[in-house]
């Protein structure tokens, strides 16, 4: 996974978000049936960061994930299952149609 996007006034860099999700590549982009422990740990880290951040950082995280969904061959159904499979709650989605301003 390689994607960079930085939002002005945000402290979160897309490279950090993507590096946390790198272990999910096999699940999100290949044939792995379930996410690995490392994938779940990275996804949980992003969800917590999103929850604990101010709006500019949340928007930056959202835009990074949105751009990944647009530019990478991510299985969106599997991406939507990550919170359930990895046992965390989040309002952030890996979705090319998400409105990151809300």
Dist. CA 24–CA 34, nearest whole Å: 9
The domain total for the chain is 1
The domain in which residue 55 lies consists of 14-85
Residue 40: inside a domain, yes or no? yes
Residue 95: inside a domain, yes or no? no
Residue 38: inside a domain, yes or no? yes
Q: Provide the residue-wise pLDDT of the chain in tens; the chain has 102 residues.
A: 444 444 444 567 899 999 999 999 999 999 899 999 999 999 999 999 999 999 899 999 999 999 999 999 999 999 999 999 999 998 889 999 999 998
Residue 63: inside a domain, yes or no? yes
Residue 77: inside a domain, yes or no? yes
Residue 39: inside a domain, yes or no? yes
Residue 12 Rama label (left phi>0; alpha psi -120 to 50; beta): beta
């Amino acid at each position: 996974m390689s994607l960079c996007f930085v939002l002005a006034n945000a402290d979160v860099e897309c490279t950090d978000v993507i590096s946390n999700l790198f272990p999910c590549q096999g699940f999100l982009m290949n044939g792995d049936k379930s996410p690995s422990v490392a994938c779940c740990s990275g996804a949980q880290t992003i969800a917590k960061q999103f929850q604990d951040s101010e709006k500019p950082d949340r928007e930056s995280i959202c835009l990074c994930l949105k751009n990944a969904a647009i530019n990478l061959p991510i299985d969106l159904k599997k991406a939507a299952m990550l919170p359930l499979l990895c046992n965390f709650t989040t309002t952030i989605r890996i979705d090319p149609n998400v409105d990151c301003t809300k």
